[in-house]
Amino acid sequence: MKAFTLYLALAKICLMTIIAASISACSGGAPLQHQQYDFGPLMTTSAAATVPSDALRLSLADINVPAALDSNAMLYRLQYDNAQQLKPYAQARWSMPPAQLLAQRLKLQIGQRGGLLVSSTDGVANLPVLHLDLNEFSQVFTAPDKSYALINVTAIVLHRHQLVAQRQFAFHVNATSADAAGGAKAMQEAVDQMIAELQHWLIQRHPE
């Protein structure tokens, strides 16, 4: 009888353990979901408002990127530790690869000012072709609690197979928080500043 009672007690303990483990798995054991970021809705910024209203008509070639930027990963550097090492956030990603985000934003910004930027694959003839190399697109930490977004782009304009102009663009914007959300917001601001300056430059050198 005592053996049977002991058996029931042990069985009850086992059952309670299984139930507790199941509750824990359902409530806290689920994997964290990736957070996705883009540049948000296009707003008329003070930088964009200073761009002349002259309408640009350009063709955009595929944006060249290094292998590290050919994915949706959000990358950062620890300047205070090893600035030469790019690291991806574990639980945050861009909604599209950086080259696609930049091309989309560029088309929207130029269109907002009355211009036109089409893909070179659309086959529109006699338009100057804009070539962009996206060299850097990362969040740089100068300290564990301080960072900035950095974008570096090389722009080349060709027209009828002739070089029209070439220039390097580099912008950085301080992040308001030392995390992926702060980096994404700072990167959006850095990209918009770069595009505004790029438009100024393109208008000055736009071939007739």
pLDDT, averaged per 10 consecutive residues of the chain (208 residues), comes to 48 40 37 82 61 75 96 97 95 97 95 87 82 98 97 95 94 96 98 95 75
HEC per residue, the chain: CHHHHHHHHHHHHHHHHHHHHHHHHHHHCCCCCCEEECCCCCCCCHHHHCCCCCCCEEEECCCECCHHHCCCEEEEEECCCEEEEEEEEEEEEECCCHHHHHHHHHHHHHHHCCCEEEEHHHCCCCCCEEEEEEEEEEEEEEECCEEEEEEEEEEEEEECCEEEEEEEEEEEEECCCCCHHHHHHHHHHHHHHHHHHHHHHHHHCCCC
For residue 16, the model assigns a pLDDT of 41
Helix axes 180-204, 98-112, angle to 10 degrees: 50
For residue 207, the model assigns a pLDDT of 53
**Residue 153 burial by Cβ neighbours in a 10 Å radius (0-12, 13-18, 19+):** buried
In this structure, are strands 35-37 and 82-94 parallel, antiparallel, or unpaired?
parallel
Fill in the amino acid letter for 76. Answer: Y
For residue 18, the model assigns a pLDDT of 36
For residue 107, the model assigns a pLDDT of 94
Selection from 32, 28, 148, 33 nearest residue 83 by Cα:
148
The residue assigned the tokens 């930490």 is 141
Which CATH number describes the domain made up of 35-204? Answer: 3.40.50.10610
Q: What is the pTM of this model?
A: 0.79
For residue 19, the model assigns a pLDDT of 29
